[in-house]
Structure 1
């Protein structure tokens, strides 16, 4: 995950006028080039209570608990002979203070342009998701509960939507329910083609009530920003800063992540499960973090749903048990309210640390959230 702060001040100063200008541009381009430009977004906020964050109870108003706050522009322009030009610019922000997310990047969530064809697939260039999130997050408790705290340790398995800069991404058309994808991210370091580069592969399958996905990503010179409450290969990954950030961030020679997940819609119940493997490499040594998760989301009515899941993670002698429960009620097609609880219990000697929270001073940590989400 990028944590740089490019163009932050300039974007904040000009954001209002820039947004109006882009809206006018969207209307003009739609009329002249017969393209479709859409403004969209999500606004989400919650009240949260954590039992132990840096040794104390924490009450907070937290942005993006159910789903990260964002606004974006996406465009499609027909080019003829089945070809389309596509683009997306997506900004993340924190509702309670109006700041940019993703380390202050103007379009930190997504920024890409490319070509699409129904017979040949889609090729895009820019800052994009790898396939861990696009192919597997629909089987994860963090998405289904919904709660950002329900994603796994430090989101090291990248289910919470991590991105890669300078990437070229290709996705095939869907044939017989199958779709494949590949991505390469250029490192951009002169004289060293491999440094800071990444390779990702993915596949999805859907047939009737059954769906499945698989993904892999390998990242050279990976920077770990979020803590997990323990030490890995002699590197201390205990995040005590705001939002559970490490101080300072830690760099590994390589991080390889792979996963497989599946779901089945059985009447009103969606049964889901996944397994992820995170492999750390540092100075010739390696360590593996394995996580298995299973759960169910049950639709009581068209508006009311319940969700519950359990995840078990293991890294060397350390292990974690994570329990998640939530309730979601749709006030309309675009607005819902939710309440959820996430409990993480670590083995002795390991400090519990839920994703985006400062580490606990004990082996357990619980967070309760009550929030509202609106889509536009």
Structure 2
């Protein structure tokens, strides 16, 4: 009995000594069923992985260095639930992998594979996050709201001052003899005051590789995804991608009103094509556990247009488990194959997906 008492006391002392340090294992497990009206001319029923949020598990931690300073890290793996494989092209920690320093006074500096500010500052105003449905993100996720990452990135974010926070990012290309090849840089700003939130972002990526299809050809590059997850049979590289945007939301009682504008410019051999996207929607809390959402997005590119309608419902079974039902409909210009994000292209200018799923967080 004395031996167990001493062990318990030692464990308590060890926990107290490490109280300022933190290490967590966390994750999301999300799966369901989906019905797509048109994939290469056929209706498709499938078991889906990560519709509300992509499946992941990760490690994150911090160590108190004193004086309001901390060492931080995050390693986050993505996987597909239906077959257990790694996502992000088979990378072990493809979602995030970074280490850094965080200071109450000076802000946060991190190094590694990270999100740019298009994701961190604007995604929260999009229907892809608020419905929630991965299919509700925009064409091929060219505006990078659906969690796109940048390798070899150095990212700095200021402390928050009167609701304002600023940030900057630079990614080294790693190409001998060239500073610009495969490099990237970006900026971001966010603001909140009471029920109002706003964000802005900018990113420029040299030698950008497009992996997902949008159902048409851009600057001579065929961007029609026919492979699994809507991936292109052959990835297309552009000389440069420049993305920018701003978004805002306002919580009016049980209704969250949100709006978003993004612009993407692709450049190839001196020619440019600009994609403009406007989105607006509302998420309404019917009860503490039950919410509904709806939105509309209009996209235009080189004389072509897309109209996207999104509706969804989400019910919390507990603080960590919910069920959802989502409908996303895309209507493209004549002659353009409709293609929702992460789905293979339709044979026509229309495509609709209905999804029912279960999400658990830990």
Give the TM-score taking structure 1 as reference length: 0.91
In structure 2, C-alpha distance between the alignment counterparts of 1:149 and 1:30, rounded to whole Å: 46
Matched, 1:62 2:48: yes
Q: For residue 156 of structure 1, what is the aligned residue in structure 2?
A: 142
In structure 2, C-alpha distance between the alignment counterparts of 1:54 and 1:88, rounded to whole Å: 39
In structure 1, C-alpha distance between the alignment counterparts of 2:117 and 2:194, rounded to whole Å: 22
Q: For residue 219 of structure 1, what is the aligned residue in structure 2?
A: 205
Q: 2:125 aligns with which of 132, 135, 139?
A: 139
In structure 2, C-alpha distance between the alignment counterparts of 1:313 and 1:31, rounded to whole Å: 55
Q: For residue 103 of structure 2, what is the aligned residue in structure 1?
A: 117
Q: Alpha-carbon deviation of 1:32? A: 6.0
Q: 1:319 aligns with which of 305, 312, 320?
A: 305
In structure 1, C-alpha distance between the alignment counterparts of 2:181 and 2:165, rounded to whole Å: 29
Q: For residue 18 of structure 1, what is the aligned residue in structure 2?
A: none
In structure 1, C-alpha distance between the alignment counterparts of 2:41 and 2:140, rounded to whole Å: 19
In structure 1, C-alpha distance between the alignment counterparts of 2:17 and 2:163, rounded to whole Å: 36
Contact residue 352 and residue 359 of structure 1 kept, 8 A = yes
Q: For residue 87 of structure 2, what is the aligned residue in structure 1?
A: 101
Task: Give the CA RMSD over aligned residues.
Answer: 1.2
Q: For residue 10 of structure 1, what is the aligned residue in structure 2?
A: none
Structure 2 residue runs of 5 or longer lacking an equivalent are 1-13
Matched, 1:258 2:239: no
In structure 1, C-alpha distance between the alignment counterparts of 2:332 and 2:68, rounded to whole Å: 53
Matched, 1:246 2:232: yes
SS in 1 for 2:79: strand
Q: Alpha-carbon deviation of 1:156? A: 0.4
SS in 2 for 1:85: strand
Q: For residue 178 of structure 2, what is the aligned residue in structure 1?
A: 192
SS in 2 for 1:359: coil
In structure 2, C-alpha distance between the alignment counterparts of 1:259 and 1:69, rounded to whole Å: 27
Q: Alpha-carbon deviation of 1:30? A: 9.4
Matched, 1:77 2:63: yes
Q: 2:292 aligns with which of 302, 306, 316?
A: 306
Matched, 1:36 2:14: no
Q: Alpha-carbon deviation of 1:34? A: 4.8
Structure 1 residue runs of 5 or longer lacking an equivalent are 1-27
SS in 2 for 1:100: coil
Contact residue 30 and residue 37 of structure 1 kept, 8 A = no
Q: For residue 203 of structure 1, what is the aligned residue in structure 2?
A: 189
In structure 2, C-alpha distance between the alignment counterparts of 1:329 and 1:347, rounded to whole Å: 35
In structure 1, C-alpha distance between the alignment counterparts of 2:15 and 2:209, rounded to whole Å: 39
Q: Alpha-carbon deviation of 1:35? A: 1.7
In structure 1, C-alpha distance between the alignment counterparts of 2:341 and 2:232, rounded to whole Å: 12
Q: For residue 328 of structure 2, what is the aligned residue in structure 1?
A: 342
Q: Alpha-carbon deviation of 1:345? A: 0.2
Q: From the CA coordinates, give the structure whose radius of gyration is larger.
A: 2
In structure 2, C-alpha distance between the alignment counterparts of 1:46 and 1:184, rounded to whole Å: 38
In structure 1, C-alpha distance between the alignment counterparts of 2:143 and 2:287, rounded to whole Å: 33
In structure 2, C-alpha distance between the alignment counterparts of 1:317 and 1:90, rounded to whole Å: 40
SS in 2 for 1:332: coil
Give the TM-score taking structure 2 as reference length: 0.95
Contact residue 30 and residue 36 of structure 1 kept, 8 A = no
Instruction: Figure out how many residues of one structure are paired with residues of the other and give that number.
Output: 349
What are the superposed Cα offsets for residues 153-206 of structure 1, whole Å, 9 maximum, x if unpaired? 000000001000000000000001000000000000000110000001000000
Q: Alpha-carbon deviation of 1:81? A: 1.7
Q: Alpha-carbon deviation of 1:46? A: 1.3
In structure 2, C-alpha distance between the alignment counterparts of 1:315 and 1:335, rounded to whole Å: 39
Contact residue 29 and residue 35 of structure 1 kept, 8 A = no
In structure 2, C-alpha distance between the alignment counterparts of 1:188 and 1:246, rounded to whole Å: 25
In structure 2, C-alpha distance between the alignment counterparts of 1:135 and 1:177, rounded to whole Å: 14
Q: Alpha-carbon deviation of 1:369? A: 0.1
In structure 2, C-alpha distance between the alignment counterparts of 1:33 and 1:203, rounded to whole Å: 33
What are the superposed Cα offsets for residues 106-126 of structure 1, whole Å, 9 maximum, x if unpaired? 000000000000110000000
Contact residue 252 and residue 282 of structure 1 kept, 8 A = yes
Q: Alpha-carbon deviation of 1:247? A: 1.2
